[in-house]
Every structure is written in structure tokens, then in C-alpha cells.
Structure 1
Amino acid sequence: MMNRLAMQSAAFAAVLLIWEAGVYVGDISPAVLPPVAEVATAAVELWGRDTFWSSIYLTVRDAAVGLVIASALGIPAGLVIGSTPWLERSTRLMVDFGRSFPQIALLPILLMVLGTSSAMKIVLIAFACFFPILLQTIYGTRQLDSTLRDTVRAYRIPVHLKYLKVILPAASPMIMTGLRISVVVSILVAIAIEITSPVKGMGDELSKARDFYETNVAIAYALYAGLLGVIVNAVADRSEKYFLSWHFRSQEA
């Protein structure tokens, strides 16, 4: 554990040294790449700005709402599609098209329909998160043991109990994988939308700093955005281990 931490710290220090050397030895303009100290100072000063905290709140809030909507639609749809062979065959082309579609291409259309509002951002986040959740739910449902399927059919278990007590628990490891992927996607898409359109959030603050040539502030916001992604991913990973502790114990056994 200590060796891994030491190696990670050394790698981080090496990146900072290369950065600092590039500024001074490479004679790079501070307007393009400011020194590490300037970025660190800007990062600390951001803590005293109300706009910094409000931008984090708006980004996380809209990402969370979009993720909840995607989950509310994607999980039930995936359970039904994955457990119904003819429906899976019928929707395969549509699902493949949706997961391959570049979500950002919807931005101009949504801007015309919903304007520069949080609703526009939430809709696009929900669309981006929907397909990973849907696909993982379908995969998880398809992996249901054939013996278990036969047992459910033989005892004529009611449909609602079949999904709640049998299919959902069996598919939950794959569903959690889809949720873990989508948690990070929601943050990335939220920030990308804020950078490319005038919607409030961390990306918008980064874009403003860029427009005013405050490169140190822009880089500080970018680093905080990356840190937010790391934190969200860590929370998702811990949540998966907590809610699926029974699954991991059964695998170890």
C-alpha cells in the first residue's frame, strides 16, 4: 500500500517538474502555460469565491438529476428487453444506433428547443447515461441461470415478483456496472455542455476564465473538474462494494 502511494506521489511530482521545466526552460508564455505556483495560488483563491461553490453545485445537481432519470428509464426497460427474446431482437438495431450516436450532436437541437437552461443539460445527460445503463441491464438479465428461469416458469411466479425477487437481484451486478460508468459520464457530459454552451456550472466558469485569458484560473477549474470525477468514481466504487457485498462474498466462496 505504501509502495503504491509512494509511486503515485513520485509520478505526480514528476509531472509537476516537467510542467515547471517546460515553462522556464522551454520559454513557454505564461498566457499559454502558467507556472505551477500561479495555478496553485489560483486554485486556493477559488475557495473564497461564491461562484466556485455554486458552479460545483449546479454541475453535480444536474448530473445527478440526469443520472436518476436515465436509471429510472434504463433499468426497467433493460429488465423487460433482456427477459423477452423477441423484444430484444426487435430493439437491437435501435439500441445499437442509440449507443453509437454522438450525444453532443443533440446540443444544437436542444438549445433551440429548451434554450440555455438546466433542463437542456439534464435531458442531454440523461440521454448519454441511458444507454450504458440499458445495455448493462440487458446483459445482466440475459445471464440469468436457465434453471432459475425454468423454476420461475414451473411455479408460475407472478410477473411483478419475478422481476423484483428473481431477475433484478440476478442482474444487479451488471446494473451496478452500468451505473458506475454512467456516474462518471454524467459529470463529463455536464462539464462538456457547460463549456460549449452558456449554461451555468464548472465548465462555464472555465470557459469564462479562458475568454478573459486567465489561464491559471482555467487550469485550476480543469483540475478541480478532474478531481470531482475521481471523487465521484470513488464514491460509485464504494457504493457498488457496499450494495453488492453479498455478490462479492459469493464469488469468494
Structure 2
Amino acid sequence: MPQDDTATIVAAAIGQAGREDRSSPARRRAKKVFIARVLFFIGLAGAWQSLSLWPYFGPNLTPGLQRIIPEIIRLAGTPMLWGAMWDTLSYALLALLLGAITGITLGTAVGLIRPVRRSSRLLLEVLRATPLFGLMPIFILLLGTGPVFKLSLPFLGSMWPFLVQTSQGVAKVDSVLIETVRSFRVPKRHVLLRVVLPNALPYMATALRLSLVLSILITVGVEALMKLPGLGAEVALSSQYAAMTEMWAWIFYAAVVGMGATLLVERVEKAMIYWRPSGRSA
């Protein structure tokens, strides 16, 4: 074999070994996380089975997994499940979209205009700390109990993270950078779209993660309280008729919806801020 070919093979082998060495710590971390999650779910299942045998709770309140799992499988084959999921997700995502548009618009204005930011800080903190479900009687009087009411509370819940995070992100953009760009007579619209908002994008990504979870939780809560169509109504009706096995199956699917949405938004967040170390995959 020629000497040049031998050197090429050795160099390729060394490069491959180096890549494996660099990737092995990440693989070990992923393996440890996977094992920890499996052990957690095993422990959770064991604790649940223990509760089902405890006289204080009993199988009527916390039925065993041998009853809940068949009910979960049964519901998966019914159109009622998919209809309830669609009712919940459609309202939650629409509220998220409207909340994002409103929150980013208002947050950008608050972050750019210093007098508005200073004068509205206390008001925003008070409104953000106000419990939304405490406002339900007012919204019922104003909007009734129809689709607009079901959309209003998750809209408000998802708007606040966008408003607060966007205003903070816009306010923290380097003023020297903005003035430098303006000195080249760049139109204000381009300064906003190409300098200010991209620099505030990490804050918006955080707001997206928070708002999506809040939108789903509030939508399910409104459905449960007002018996509006969706996963929350199915949970509430099952509890009302003491169908505890079915109730826990519906709660399982509500948790699956929330978990799936969280995993999806984490990937979207990484794509939005891919240049940051936290946004890059290991």
C-alpha cells in the first residue's frame, strides 16, 4: 500500500476517534437523563398503586393503573377524545396567537418609549399579579359564556408574558447600537425590524414558552369551571358523575397535550435563538 494512502487512513481513523470522544460525554449525559426519567416514572407508578391500596384514598378515588390504562386505551379509539383535544388546542393556540401579536406590539412600544415604560411599570406589575379567574364574573357579564368568553381569559394570560418580556428585551437593546444604525440614515422601520426586535428575540422565546403553557392551563380551567366543550369539561363531568377512572384518563390526556406542546415549543425556541449556546443542541 502506498505511504500516502496509509497516512490518509490513519488521519481519518484519528479524526473519527476524536469525534467519538467528543460525542461520548453528551451520549452519557443523555443516557443518564433517560435512566433518571424511567426511574422517576417507575417510582410514580409505585406510589400511585400504593395510594390505591391505602384506605384513606381507596380504589374509588385513586383507582389502580390496571383500571386507568385500559380506560386510556379505550378513549384513544373514540372520536370524543380527538374532538375534545381539538376544542382545547384550537382555542389555546388562537389565544396564544392573539396574545403574542398584542403583547409584542404593546411591549415594543413600552420598551422604546422611556416615559411610557417608567409610568406604566407599576400598573403592569399590578395587572400581571391579578388572578385571571377572579375576573371571571366580570367577563361573564360582559361577554356571556360563549366562545368569546372562552377565548378571553387565555388571551389575557398569554399576552402578559409577551408584553413584559418584549418590553424588557427592547429596553435592553444597546442605545449606542441603535444610534449608530440611525446615523447611516436607516429608516426607523428597518431599525425596528432588523435591529431592535432581533436583539429582543431571546426574551420573546422565553415568553412563548411561558405563554403556551399558561394558555393551555387557563383554557382547560375555563372549560372545567364553565362546562364548555374540551378536555376540561370532560374532566369536570367525569368527576361530577363519580367516574373516577374516566376522570384520571382525561387528566392523562390533558397532561399529554401540555407536555407535547412544551416539547414542541422548546424546539421552536432553539430554532429562534440558535446562535446562543443554550439554543444549540449538544
Give the TM-score normalised by structure 1.
Answer: 0.93
Q: Do structure 1's residue 118 and structure 2's residue 144 form an aligned pair?
A: no
Work out the CA distance in 2 between the residues paired with 1:201 and 1:14: 31
Q: Do structure 1's residue 141 and structure 2's residue 173 form an aligned pair?
A: no
What is the match of residue 126 of structure 2? 97
Q: Give the direction of change, closer, same or farther, for the CA distance of 1:32–1:124 in structure 2 (3 Å limit).
A: same
Q: Aligned to 2:262, which of 211, 233, 253?
A: 233
The sequence identity of aligned pairs, in percent, is 27
Please say if residues 182 and 191 of structure 2, whose CA atoms lie closer than 8 Å, have aligned partners that are also in contact. Answer: no
Work out the CA distance in 1 between the residues paired with 2:56 and 2:73: 26
- Amino acid corresponding to residue 80 of structure 2 in structure 1: T
Please say if residues 270 and 279 of structure 2, whose CA atoms lie closer than 8 Å, have aligned partners that are also in contact. Answer: no
Please say if residues 46 and 52 of structure 1, whose CA atoms lie closer than 8 Å, have aligned partners that are also in contact. Answer: yes
Q: Give the direction of change, closer, same or farther, for the CA distance of 1:90–1:112 in structure 2 (3 Å limit).
A: same
Q: Give the direction of change, closer, same or farther, for the CA distance of 1:251–1:149 in structure 2 (3 Å limit).
A: farther
What is the match of residue 192 of structure 1? 221
What is the match of residue 66 of structure 1? 95
Shift of 1:26: 4.1
- Amino acid corresponding to residue 9 of structure 1 in structure 2: V
Structure possessing the higher relative contact order (Cα contacts under 8 Å, 6 or more residues apart): 1
Work out the CA distance in 2 between the residues paired with 1:249 and 1:233: 16
Q: Do structure 1's residue 183 and structure 2's residue 212 form an aligned pair?
A: yes
Q: Do structure 1's residue 4 and structure 2's residue 51 form an aligned pair?
A: no
What is the match of residue 158 of structure 1? 187
Q: Aligned to 1:212, which of 228, 238, 241?
A: 241
Give the TM-score normalised by structure 2.
Answer: 0.84
What is the match of residue 171 of structure 1? 200
What is the match of residue 60 of structure 2? 31
Gaps of 5+ in 1: none
- Amino acid corresponding to residue 85 of structure 2 in structure 1: I
Please say if residues 79 and 163 of structure 1, whose CA atoms lie closer than 8 Å, have aligned partners that are also in contact. Answer: no
Shift of 1:240: 0.9
Please say if residues 96 and 215 of structure 2, whose CA atoms lie closer than 8 Å, have aligned partners that are also in contact. Answer: yes
What is the match of residue 77 of structure 1? 106
| 2:149 alignment partner, SS class | helix
Work out the CA distance in 2 between the residues paired with 1:250 and 1:58: 32
Shift of 1:250: 9.8
What is the match of residue 16 of structure 1? 45
Gaps of 5+ in 2: 1-29
Shift of 1:21: 2.1
| 1:245 alignment partner, SS class | coil
Aligned-residue CA RMSD (Å): 1.9
Shift of 1:48: 2.1
Work out the CA distance in 2 between the residues paired with 1:240 and 1:247: 11
Work out the CA distance in 2 between the residues paired with 1:67 and 1:250: 22
